[in-house]
Amino acid sequence: MSAVEQLTPPPAVAEPGPRRWRRVTGRMGLGGLLGIGGLLALVVVSAAGRFLTDPPQPDIEAIAQGPSGEHPLGTDFTGRDNLHLVVRGGWDMLELAFVAGFLMSAIALTAGLLGAYVGGAVDRIVVSFIDLWLTVPRFVLLLVIASLFPVSSTVALAALIAVFEWPYLARQIRAQALSLRRREYVEAARLLQLRGGHIMLRYLIPAIGPFVVISTIQAMNTAIYQQVGLAFFGLVPLEDNWGVLFSVAYSQNALYLPAAAWSLLVPVAAICLLQFCLVLASRSLEELFDPRLRGAR
């Protein structure tokens, strides 16, 4: 329909700072503000907990208690304060999520762009491998590998998760890059025989940038999901991050004792909160950067 074709949005015009900012926040909506604000708050609180406080000490006088004036969120089975634990345990969780999200995005970006840009046989290999790896029951394999070769650092664990979980993102990035490649200006650049690397740097990466940010947030989401599963089997030999806290509490049967259950439910709530913030943030960024992205998938 010709008349509708002419209704493509006008080129973005730089608006004066404050007005533009208000428009941005307006378009992000309440959910987006909550998500990004929540993430910032979690980062600040976790950083403060990690670097400004000492590890909470066990207290045999106060084992597995419910909330009280002294311990607002109760204590765990060694008498440590749940609130203190959860504030201290966030940093490792965020670090893991960030490193895994970054690595996953990096692998996915490399594979996805390689496939979309080089095309031909390379693309077919990339796509087949992605499809194959997507169909493998990865979590089961991840559990086995993690149990046979225990990783003892956050970064190693993040890398392990990233190696297992990149293909979904890679598929999305490839699809996105393919649709970009078909756009006229990229085609024009190709016809002008600009070098492939130049096209990628100058056109594809900037255009795909927002998408990568969103993908990284989604990758963080996945990383947390997987680390929670690993932790549940005691396969995360790390210090008290939220996943470890909840799995240790679970293995102490905290679930069945209402007073002790606080030590289980507090980290569970923290993980859910983090996940919610990540989801809200990624969804609102999607709408902010490009409403068409939603239709594209």
Among 44, 122, 144, 156, binds another protein (CB under 8 A): 144
H-type helices in 182-289, by residue range?
184-191, 196-199, 205-232, 242-251, 261-289
Contact 77, 63 (CB under 8 A): yes
The candidate with the shortest Cα–Cα distance to 271, out of 249, 243, 248, is 243
Smaller CB separation from another protein, 204 or 219: 219
Secondary structure (3-state) at 244: helix
Determine contact, residues 90/42, Cβ cutoff 8 Å: yes
Structure tokens that stand for 62 in this block: 């106060």
4 binds another protein (CB under 8 A): yes
Choices 86-94, 101-109, 201-209, 250-258; region in contact with another protein by CB under 8 A: 250-258
Residue 147 touches another protein, criterion: CB under 8 A: yes
* 21 is a site residue for another protein (CB under 8 A): no
The answer to whether the beta carbons of residues 71 and 65 sit under 8 Å apart is: yes
Which tokens is 147 given? 């149990």
Q: Kindly determine how many residues on this chain lie close enough to bind another protein according to the rule CB under 8 A.
A: 53
CB of 126 to another protein, least distance (A): 15
Pick the closer one to another protein by CB: 197 or 297.
297
Q: Which amino acid, residue 123?
A: D
- Under 8 Å between Cβ of 189 and 66: no
Residues 165-224 that bind another protein (CB under 8 A): 221, 224
Binder among 39, 228, 238, 248 for another protein (CB under 8 A): 228
Identified binder of another protein from the candidate list 7, 12, 14, 191, rule CB under 8 A = 7
Q: Are 42 and 273 in contact (CB under 8 A)?
A: yes
Token pair of 18, please?
Answer: 């404050």
Is 141 a binding residue for another protein by CB under 8 A? The answer is: yes
Amino acid letter, 242: W
Longest dimension (CA), the chain: 78
| Measured CA distances, 257 to 68, 91, 254, 266, 270 (Å) | 16, 28, 5, 14, 20
Q: Does an H or E element contain 239, and which?
A: none
Q: Which is nearer to another protein, 64 or 278 (CB)?
A: 278
Q: Which is nearer to another protein, 19 or 297 (CB)?
A: 297
User: Going residue by residue from 22 to 41, which x/- string records binding to another protein, judged by CB under 8 A?
Assistant: ---------x----------
Residue tagged 């005691």 (tokens): 234
Among 118, 134, 155, 201, binds another protein (CB under 8 A): 134
Q: Which of 176, 246, 263, 266 binds another protein (CB under 8 A)?
A: 246
Task: Find the part of the chain contacting another protein (CB under 8 A) among 18-26, 36-44, 49-57, 269-277.
Answer: 269-277
Cβ distance to another protein smaller for residue 32 or 204: 32
Q: How far is the CB of 254 from another protein (least distance, A)?
A: 10
How many angstroms separate the CA atoms of 133 and 165, rounded? 9
Contact residues: another protein, CB under 8 A: 1-7, 9-10, 31, 132, 134-141, 143-145, 147-149, 221, 224-225, 228-229, 232-233, 235, 246, 250, 255-256, 258, 261, 264-265, 268, 271-272, 275-276, 278-280, 283, 294-295, 297
